[in-house]
């Protein structure tokens, strides 16, 4: 019974993370396209590619675990991302500078969630041979680099939009990728 419940719960968990990954991938691509000619545009394009690769890695892990993709969740996530574009931003027809700040913040939060998911799977990999702990360690490390890069871009963009000096970003202590603590 516990194994069946465990499989059900991991299926729900991973489908929820996949829904978030779909939103994050779409947001990253849209932000990279909107900011392509601005400072940081190349970094955003690279991040968008990595975030897309991370979504594929999640789908691969779901397949390895025998977790089916729940289409209703992926469609709902896709629709939610499209609807989020309708938020008022102080401009009617043009992109507001505020959009980049808010989108960078949302993207950073999404990557924080992704890192938590990778750490959870890393802990499961200790008892589930279908998961590769080394690959999960790489994904955790990459998520941490993405978080740091997004924070640098966010701080710089916020200073451009709201004025003020760009303060150096200090790293946030994180658990090592090789640890088994689940988040």
> In this structure, what token pair is assigned to residue 23?
């939103």
Rounded mean pLDDT of 77-105? 69
d(CA 85, CA 102): 11
pLDDT of 6 = 81
Report domain extents, the chain: 2-162
Binned at pLDDT 50, 70 and 90, residue 180 comes out as very low
Residue spans of alpha helices (H) in the chain: 2-34, 41-65, 71-84, 97-125, 133-162
pLDDT of 56 = 97
Rounded mean pLDDT of 109-136? 96
Shortest CA distance to 31 belongs to which of 93, 104, 83, 111? 104
- The fold for domain 2-162 equals Ferritin (1.20.1260)
Mean pLDDT of the chain: 84
d(CA 64, CA 71): 18
Higher pLDDT, 166 or 2: 166
pLDDT of 71 = 75
Shortest CA distance to 115 belongs to which of 126, 107, 105? 107
Write down the pTM of the prediction: 0.80
Higher pLDDT, 117 or 183: 117
């Amino acid at each position: 019974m516990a194994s069946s419940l465990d499989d059900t719960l991991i299926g729900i968990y991973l489908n929820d993370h996949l829904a978030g990954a779909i939103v994050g991938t779409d947001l990253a691509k849209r932000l990279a396209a909107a900011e392509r000619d601005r400072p940081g545009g190349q970094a955003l394009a690279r991040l968008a590619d990595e975030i897309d690769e991370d979504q594929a890695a999640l789908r691969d892990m779901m397949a390895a675990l025998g977790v089916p993709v729940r289409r209703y969740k992926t469609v709902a996530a896709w629709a939610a991302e499209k609807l989020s574009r309708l938020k008022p931003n102080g401009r009617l027809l043009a992109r507001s500078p505020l959009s980049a700040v808010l989108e960078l913040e949302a993207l950073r939060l999404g990557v924080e969630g992704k890192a938590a998911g990778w750490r959870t799977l890393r802990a499961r990999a200790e008892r589930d041979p279908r998961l590769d702990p080394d690959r999960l360690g790489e994904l955790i490390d990459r998520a941490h680099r993405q978080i740091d890069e997004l924070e640098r871009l966010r701080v710089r963009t916020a200073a451009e939009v709201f004025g003020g000096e760009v303060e150096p970003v200090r790293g946030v202590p994180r658990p090592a990728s090789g640890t088994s603590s689940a988040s």
